[in-house]
Amino acid sequence: MSVLPVAAGGGVILDRVTAGYGGRPAVESVSARFPSGAVTMLLGPNGSGKSTIIRLLGGSLRFTGRVTLEGKPLNRLTPLQRGRMVGVVSQSPSLTFPFRVEEVILLGRLPHRKILRGWSREDLEQAGDAAREMELDDLLSRSAPSLSGGERQRVLIAQVIAQRPKIYLMDEPSSALDPRHSLRLFRFLRRRAAEGSTVVVAVHDINLASEHGDFVCILKRGRVEASGEIERVLSADLLADVYETPFEKFGEAVSADGRRRGAWRAV
């Protein structure tokens, strides 16, 4: 297994991390590095531990081992520090309270809001920029629960964009998006990575990972099967072993940075 590079003091590092539910581990003794300034894709079958890693990095799941975010131990960060550093888009999120879309997006600014103060000009500007990024300008006055699934997903992505975290953690963020908004999302994430952010995205679509990612971390049964640069890691043999079905390369795709990479399909 290769190891992803991380600049000194930057990125995310997991060192022999175990976490799970109800006393049963979902990831066990996982060590991995997700570099700053890059997009790392988490791949693996259902139940392999992708969502568990996103949850524990976001601070919502207890774990053993050591996790550092930007050189700081995760378990020593206060909720406010974590909120300023980490933005999370969960899998299948819900919006049940009758907040307006604009209000939901502004919630991303809570970690930056001063106690007993209203929204600042910067808060409003960041929320407005996030709404435009996800093309939500015409929906700002709508009640969030009244939106379609894809629209709600865009609202919650915009909330994290408004948050302006250093680390972006996203679990199947494009699963409900149409191709246009999926492309807008991944172009945004690549821009943030180019500016130095750490981006970790769990996906099922191998070709989506190949097109938009720099690195990949592949999980199987709660353990890291392989990690490293996408074009060096992905192979028919590895994919067949991880997903327990044959794979073949059926062509090439041009990645977001212009590199040509293999396109894969199960056969």
Query: Could you give all domains of the chain from N- to C-terminal order, each with its CATH number?
Result: 12-93+165-266 (3.40.50.300)
The two beta strands, 24-34 and 64-69, are: unpaired
Neighbouring residues of 103: CB distance < 8 A, sequence distance ≥ 6: none
- State pLDDT tens for residues 101-151: 999 999 999 999 887 688 999 999 999 999 999 999 999 999 999 999 999
Q: What integer pLDDT is reported at residue 9 of this predicted model?
A: 56
Residue 1 confidence (pLDDT) above 50: no
Strand partners, 215: 40, 229
Phi, psi of 140 (to 5 degrees): -60, -30
Q: What integer pLDDT is reported at residue 133 of this predicted model?
A: 98
- State pLDDT tens for residues 178-236: 999 999 999 999 999 999 999 999 999 999 999 999 999 999 999 999 999 998 999 99
Q: Tally the residues of the chain.
A: 267
Q: Could you tell me the two tokens for 27?
A: 């990831």
Residue with tokens 């390369």: 249
Residue with tokens 């899998």: 91
Q: What integer pLDDT is reported at residue 4 of this predicted model?
A: 54
Cα–Cα distance, 70 to 54 (Å, whole number): 16
Q: What integer pLDDT is reported at residue 222 of this predicted model?
A: 97
Amino acid at 40: T
Q: What integer pLDDT is reported at residue 8 of this predicted model?
A: 47
Strand partners, 30: 17
Phi, psi of 126 (to 5 degrees): -65, -40
Cα–Cα distance, 135 to 97 (Å, whole number): 22
Q: Which pTM value belongs to this model?
A: 0.93
Burial profile 177-186: b = 16 or more Cβ within 10 angstroms, e = fewer: beeebbebbb
Query: 38 near 199, Cβ under 8 Å?
Result: yes
Element (H, E) at 6: none
DSSP 192-215: HHHTT-EEEEE-S-HHHHHHH-SE
Residue 165 confidence (pLDDT) above 80: yes
- State pLDDT tens for residues 80-109: 999 999 999 998 767 888 899 999 999 999
Average predicted confidence (pLDDT) for the chain: 92
Q: What integer pLDDT is reported at residue 10 of this predicted model?
A: 81
